[in-house]
Amino acid sequence: MADVSIEEIVKKLLEESPQRKFSESVDIAINLKNLDLNQPKNRVDEEIVLPNGLGKELKVGVFAKGEVALQAKQAGAAYVFDDADIQEMKDDKARAKAVADECDFFIAETQFMATIGKTIGTVLGPRGKMPVPLLPGKSIGEMIQSKQSAVRVRSKDKMTFHVSVGRRDMPADKLAQNIEAVVSRVERALVKGRHNIKSIYVTTTMGKSERVM
């Protein structure tokens, strides 16, 4: 990464950024190079489970019914939707958009996937929030826990994009581990790996930024 470790860079950032009256997020800005992002195959679109989570609880929406719906509620799903909810959102795009913006991730029983695609896929798709299917034999509780520690990394057609890696009140070493996890995954997703990365900066919501790569 650099002569100075990522943990040391994060410590410096946290020490030198003024304290705020709210809980700031810690983000990284990734700047790419030598890529034609008009070609979808060159774009970054990854879901990454952070080893130390984001320091806050993410909201997971689940499309399910019966026993799976009950398990989802018990596991901490923010919302559980059934067939009737999907039809309501099909007819009320304002509600569908509100739900899409409220939830960070979605999971759906496989039986709902086709219907979701046909009805509210036009709302969820552009936001990068199409549900992950709950495959047979998978635990909805484990999937919800995994989603609550995950971030979606999407470059779209932009050479610069931002990713949240935690909160300011998290220890520097935990934030550094999260940054390393994201950078490693992004490198693997790029055609030429690290050679397609121009630079990476870490910053707090309203603080200064420090280069980590």
Name the CATH topology of 60-147: Rossmann fold (3.40.50)
Q: For residue range 101-113, list pLDDT tens digits in order.
A: 999 999 999 999 9
Place of tokens 């034609």: 36
Give dist(CA 48, CA 211) in Å, integer.
Answer: 22
Predicted model pTM: 0.80
pLDDT of residue 2: 44
Contacts for 59 with CB less than 8 Å, ≥ 6 apart: 78, 79, 102, 103, 104, 105
Question: What's the mean per-residue pLDDT of the chain?
Answer: 94
The yes-or-no verdict on residue 1 having pLDDT over 80 is: no
Give mean pLDDT, residues 108-125. Answer: 97
Collapsed DSSP state (helix, strand, coil) of residue 108: strand
pLDDT of residue 111: 96
Q: For residue range 72-92, list pLDDT tens digits in order.
A: 999 999 999 999 999 999 999
In the chain, domain spans? 6-55+151-211, 60-147
Name the CATH topology of 6-55+151-211: Ribulose 1,5 Bisphosphate Carboxylase/Oxygenase (3.30.190)
List Cα–Cα distances, 33 to 43, 169, 193, 196, 210, in angstroms. Answer: 12, 32, 11, 5, 19
pLDDT of residue 165: 97
Give dist(CA 75, CA 66) in Å, integer.
Answer: 14
